[in-house]
């Protein structure tokens, strides 16, 4: 298996991790099985995502090597990785899947999924836990879980109804049917469909622009929108007032004002 060195000097066996300025690119790297998830991969991904909390990283791009994004739990041993974990499935989900999702959702910076191919089961969950999804025209989604008699996991039951509404979420979960990129876009599961030719470069360009943006502003916008569905109007207005106060004390806000006065593009440093 190919290994890859991260900006933090860790030698990954199942990921490719590359620092490109302030952008951290993480690619799932088991292309022969469409990047299906093993416990080793989940542990490595958790480590890479926790490392991405570093202030020097100002955006994260998650993708898959080869023709797939991620085919969900690795079924090649004829079953789930639970045997490998030596426990039951609840324990596997809590110990291996949930920390990855928590690390992904906790990042106070833009996290973009570049969905280069099929995303199934928990692989789709990972894509939906990102802030935005750029879809190659060859991308596809399938929940997959019910097709093998499972329930949802890896935050699918949290993110999916928020993105598409509860009834559509049920329809997609019951059927496990495959959505192509255009239908996924129409349902709100992606923000942009890009040509498969040059997809990786276009997605990197998109993410790099975000990594050079006002990271402090982005972090607070992300927190406001994440809190919104569970808040009353009063609580949300209070949150807006507090986070706007914080944003107004950042260097990036001062730079934004200076650049406006000087009629030039701002140079944000994420501070
Ligand atoms: O304890 C726990 O882990 C609980 C957590 C569970 C969470 C879950 O994710 S459950 C859902 C698990 N995933 C699936 O059920 C998806 C299974 N795969 C598929 O349905 C299809 O492969 C796809 C729709 C994803 C892609 O179809 P297609 O036709 O483009 O490709 P393919 O030919 O089926 O797959 C290509 C290769 O990848 C093939 O290997 P081969 O024949 O070339 O040697 C196939 O076996 C392998 N592969 C695909 N998915 C998986 C996989 N190998 C291991 N695990 C997989 N999930």
pLDDT digits (tens, 9 = 90+) for 52-73: 999 999 999 999 999 999 999 9
Question: Which residues have C-beta within 8 Å of that of residue 205, sequence separation ≥ 6?
Answer: none
Task: Give me the chain's average pLDDT, please.
Answer: 94
Tell me the mean pLDDT in the region 23-40. Answer: 97
Give the number of other CB atoms < 10 A from CB of residue 94: 13
Judge contact between 38 and 84, C-beta under 8 A.
yes
Question: Among candidates 58, 65, 71, 73, which has minimal Cα distance to 26?
Answer: 65
Task: Give the residue, out of 34, 92, 117, 126, with the most ligand 1 atoms within 8 A of its beta carbon, to mutate for a pocket test.
Answer: 34
180 phi and psi, to 5 degrees?
Answer: -85, 175
Judge contact between 189 and 141, C-beta under 8 A.
yes
Question: Among candidates 198, 42, 21, which has minimal Cα distance to 114?
Answer: 198
For residue 182, report the distance from its CA to the centre of ligand 1, in Å: 22
Q: How far apart are the first and last CA of the chain?
A: 39
pLDDT of residue 1: 37
For residue 72, report the distance from its CA to the centre of ligand 1, in Å: 7
Question: Which residues have C-beta within 8 Å of that of residue 51, sequence separation ≥ 6?
Answer: 6, 7, 8, 10, 24, 57
Query: Would you say the CB of residue 117 lies under 6 angstroms from ligand 1?
Result: no
pLDDT of residue 88: 86
Q: What is the dihedral of CA 45, 47, 49, 54, to 10 degrees?
A: -160
Closest protein CA for atom 11 of ligand 1: 121
pLDDT of residue 226: 96
Closest protein CA for atom 53 of ligand 1: 33
Closest protein CA for atom 21 of ligand 1: 71
For residue 33, report the distance from its CA to the centre of ligand 1, in Å: 7
Query: Would you say the CB of residue 145 lies under 6 angstroms from ligand 1?
Result: yes
Residues 199, 205, 209, 215, CA torsion sign:
positive
**pTM score:** 0.95
For residue 95, report the distance from its CA to the centre of ligand 1, in Å: 22
Structure-block tokens of residue 89:
């499935």
């Amino acid at each position: 298996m190919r290994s890859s060195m991260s900006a933090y000097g860790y030698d990954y066996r199942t990921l490719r991790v590359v620092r490109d300025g302030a952008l951290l690119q993480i690619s799932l790297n088991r292309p022969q099985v469409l990047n299906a998830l093993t416990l080793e991969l989940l542990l490595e991904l958790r480590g890479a995502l926790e490392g991405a909390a570093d202030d020097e990283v100002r955006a994260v791009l998650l993708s898959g090597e080869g023709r797939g994004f991620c085919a969900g739990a690795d079924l090649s041993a004829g079953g789930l990785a639970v045997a490998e974990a030596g426990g039951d499935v609840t324990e596997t989900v809590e110990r291996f899947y949930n920390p990855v999702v928590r690390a992904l959702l906790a990042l106070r910076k833009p996290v973009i999924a570049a969905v280069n191919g099929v995303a199934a089961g928990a692989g789709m969950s990972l894509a939906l836990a990102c802030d935005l999804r750029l879809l190659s025209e060859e991308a596809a989604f399938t929940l997959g879980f019910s097709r093998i008699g499972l329930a949802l996991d890896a935050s699918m039951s949290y993110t999916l109804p928020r993105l598409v509404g509860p009834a559509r979420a049920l329809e997609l979960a019951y059927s496990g049917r495959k959505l192509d990129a255009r239908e996924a876009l129409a349902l709100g599961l992606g923000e942009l469909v890009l040509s498969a030719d040059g997809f990786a470069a276009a997605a990197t360009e998109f993410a790099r622009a975000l990594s050079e943006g006002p990271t402090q502003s982005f972090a607070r916008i992300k927190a406001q929108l994440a809190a919104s569905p569970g808040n009353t109007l009063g609580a949300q207005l209070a949150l807006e007032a507090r986070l706007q106060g914080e944003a107004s004390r950042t260097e990036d806000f001062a730079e934004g004002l200076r650049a406006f006065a000087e009629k030039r593009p701002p140079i944000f440093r994420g501070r």
